[in-house]
Amino acid sequence: MKHHRKALAVVLASIVALAGCSAASSSSPPAGSGASAPASVPSVVSAGPSSSADSSSSSAPPAFSATLKLYHDKTTWQDYFVQLAVSSKQAKGVSLDPVPYSDQDAFKAFIRQSFQTSAKPDLFTWWTGGALQDLVNQGLVADTSSLWQQAIADGNATKEQAKYFTIKGHQYCVPLIWSPWVIYYNTKVFAHAGLSAPTSWDQLIAAAAKLKAAGITPFPDTSGPFSYAMFQLLLSGTDPKLYSGLADGSIKFTDPGVIAVMNKWSEMIKAGYFSQPGGKADFVGDLKNGKIGMEYLGTWFRGNLAKGGMTPADYSMILPPSVNGSNKVMIVEPGPLCSGTNSPNSKAASAFLTWMFTPDAQGKWSNLRNDVSFNPKAKIDAPSLAAFNQAASSGGYTVENMFYNQMPLPIATVALSQFDAFIADPSNPTAQLDKIQGAADSYWSQHK
């Protein structure tokens, strides 16, 4: 497993420059290097040279007139995709018909099954790392190497960013999001409880205890798609080397340091710092209504909060404090937008994905979601992110990929289910770690 901490750090510096500029203008890995080669290396059909910010918004007539199906599991972003479609139709003649899936498992199953039919997806959201490599190895994802090369030449992306979308020397998909993970907190709830933003792990736990005493649940239940979240937060904040070592097999899930982190997580669950498991937590509603005090998610969640009626005055964000007081770590989530191999509208899909690299597209897309962009030339109206990103770049942070992205898919799949089991019954964490390590042993025995 190759890691690109340097790559993420370089991109984070670009985001800092972007956010700082926004504030002035406004007065969230290739898995298993030994995995088999892709079944084929299909390419997105070239749509011609990449459009610059000027040309994408020029009066030149669009080259296409097409509507692409975009399948996604981000239901709260449905309106954002609809609005993006208006801009892409004006710029490139390519509109979108976004199709949302509220159930992530159903979404994954649909995408995989669709490739067995004639109705291959034009565009779909996915995950980087092992999840993307799994589809690429089956020859299901269109190659976007030429799009990346042009975007890098235009200064709209970097080689460092491309590494997270690279498998066996080829790039696949384009960035849909590039989001640091942060802790959100309800400012009114904190003020009413007499709390300020915690700057240390001890202060964070003290805040959780005070919130619980006031009848407010400190954190939501994260079982399900985010079952790894607290493990990611605790392990990366305790020992970044252990965290990254799990992803390449050099560290075992049964390592004493990993067990100690699980025990710390167990203590937090037993202390009542999380809502009841299996309750399908309403991340937006519970934070807005003050049922939950804090949530740990990517900066992409700002868009969800805006859709739920929260303004930047209603919440604040902090970088997670170091668990052991010395290791400052930031988790970044690179999320892809992909095109299916031999999709019926491959030329139009290529035109749309090419446009998505441009400052024009990124300015529109990021501002719709109240988030930052991977493109440092995009004009982003998110001044509250400037100080946050500045702190991240200047505070000596180690930057790591999100747990689900950086783990090989067979290991990640078992890990998520075992973290769910642990959340439901945290009495014996070694039982879950043993099962995850069993999956890791099986995988690495064939891929090292």
Provide the β-strand partners of residue 123.
70, 339
Q: Where are the domains of the chain?
A: 5-179+334-392, 182-331+401-447
Cα separation, 353 vs 431, whole angstroms: 44
Q: Which long-range contacts (CB under 8 A, 24 or more apart) does 228-232 make?
A: 228/403, 228/404, 228/412, 228/415, 228/416, 228/419, 229/296, 229/297, 230/265, 230/268, 230/296, 231/261, 231/262, 231/265, 231/403, 231/419, 232/181, 232/331, 232/402, 232/403
Give the DSSP H/E element, type plus range, for residue 399.
strand 398-401
Cα separation, 306 vs 145, whole angstroms: 34
The structure tokens listed for 87 are: 């801009």
Cα separation, 336 vs 385, whole angstroms: 22
The per-residue pLDDT for range 21-66, each reduced to its tens digit, is 333 333 232 233 233 333 333 344 434 333 333 334 444 556 668 9
Cα 50-55-56 angle, rounded to 5 deg: 75
Give the DSSP H/E element, type plus range, for residue 13.
helix 5-25
CA-based end-to-end distance of the chain: 9
The structure tokens listed for 179 are: 């989001």
* CATH code matching the domain that covers 5-179+334-392, chosen among 3.40.50.300, 3.30.70.2190, 3.40.50.720, 3.40.190.10: 3.40.190.10
| Same fold across 5-179+334-392 and 182-331+401-447 | yes
Cα separation, 414 vs 277, whole angstroms: 18
pLDDT at 387: 56
Q: In 284-377, which ranges are E strands?
A: 294-298, 315-318, 329-339
Q: How many CB atoms lie within 10 A of CB 342?
A: 15
pLDDT at 2: 43
Q: Residue 73: is its pLDDT beyond 70?
A: yes
Q: Which fold has domain 182-331+401-447?
A: D-Maltodextrin-Binding Protein; domain 2 (3.40.190)
The per-residue pLDDT for range 107-121, each reduced to its tens digit, is 999 999 998 887 889
The per-residue pLDDT for range 132-181, each reduced to its tens digit, is 999 999 999 999 999 999 999 999 998 888 988 999 999 999 999 988 89
The per-residue pLDDT for range 222-232, each reduced to its tens digit, is 998 899 999 99
Cα separation, 101 vs 109, whole angstroms: 11
- Which pLDDT band, with edges at 50, 70 and 90, does 386 fall under? low
The fraction of the chain above a pLDDT of 90, given in percent, is: 67
pLDDT at 168: 94
* C-beta of residue 72 within 8 angstroms of C-beta of residue 99: yes
Cα separation, 295 vs 292, whole angstroms: 8
Q: Residue 445: is its pLDDT beyond 50?
A: yes
For strands 174-186 and 329-339, give the pairing: antiparallel
Give the DSSP H/E element, type plus range, for residue 364.
helix 359-369
Q: How many CB atoms lie within 10 A of CB 204?
A: 20
User: What is the rounded average pLDDT of the residues 324-352?
Assistant: 91
